[in-house]
Chains A and B, each alone.
Chain A
Amino acid sequence: MTEKEERGTLGATLNSLAGWILPGLGHVSQGRLTRGLVLGLVVIVMFVAGVTLGGRLYSLTDTREGLLSNVFAACDLGTGLLYFLSRAAGVATSDQAELATAEYGNVFLMVAGLLNYLLMLDAFDIAVRRKP
């Protein structure tokens, strides 16, 4: 790998990380404004819908549901800053489900994280010119 390619990969990785921290930022930082805003908004809407439905953000140290809790936490973690801010503010951290729709909320939160992981990979592919 040449030095130029290494720099490109490093830049692409940083772009992906930016996209993880704030959904859509990985695309916006590459000049894909519309794509970044739309996709970032989708992840944020999904996250907000999850919280509104009474979903719960799992912690990596949570063992209430055994190993599955770690899998759920890894999914939730995909939302980046939204995850950390919500946990710091005590939003969606209740151990007890307060709404009948809490399970739907959990799924929305997890899928928001998983979609953001996909966006990270997409931003990486665009940065290394694997995608147009």
Chain B
Amino acid sequence: MLLFAALVAVVFGAIGREGLREQFRYGLKIFVEFVGVGFVLAWILYWVP
């Protein structure tokens, strides 16, 4: 999940924003969102029989 999130974040960051700083910030945001949503969904599904 971390590898997946990191790779997708690099691409989204690079093509979604201009300027190295903005790209980094956006990529980091995407990464955190991917991992966060992954954990939330995992916990929700854990309680679903």
Partner-B contacts on A (CB < 8 A): 35, 38-39, 42-43, 45-46, 49, 107-108, 111, 115, 118-119, 122, 131-132
Interface size classification for chain B:
under 10
Bound-state CA distance A128–B10 (Å) is: 23
Bound-state CA distance A107–B4 (Å) is: 9
- Residue B18 is within 8 A (CB to CB) of chain A in the complex: yes
- Residue B11 is within 8 A (CB to CB) of chain A in the complex: yes
Is B11's CB under 8 angstroms from A42's CB?
yes
Q: Which of A49, A115, A131 contacts B11 (CB 8 A)?
A: A115
Q: Measured between C-beta atoms, what is the minimum distance from B11 to chain A in Å?
A: 5
Contacts of A118 in B (CB 8 A): 11, 15
User: Which of B10, B11, B14, B18 is most buried by chain A, counting CB atoms within 10 A of its CB?
Assistant: B11
Main secondary structure of the interface of B (DSSP, over half): helix
Q: Which of A46, A108, A119 contacts B15 (CB 8 A)?
A: A119
Is A42's CB under 8 angstroms from B15's CB?
no
Is A49's CB under 8 angstroms from B3's CB?
yes
Q: Measured between C-beta atoms, what is the minimum distance from B37 to chain A in Å?
A: 15
- Residue B42 is within 8 A (CB to CB) of chain A in the complex: no
Contacts of B15 in A (CB 8 A): 39, 118-119, 122
Bound-state CA distance A46–B3 (Å) is: 9
Contacts of B14 in A (CB 8 A): 35, 38-39
Contacts of A119 in B (CB 8 A): 11, 15
Bound-state CA distance A131–B16 (Å) is: 10
Contacts of B7 in A (CB 8 A): 42, 45-46, 49, 115
Contact A132/B11 with A49-B3, A108-B4, A111-B4 known, Cβ cut-off 8 Å:
no
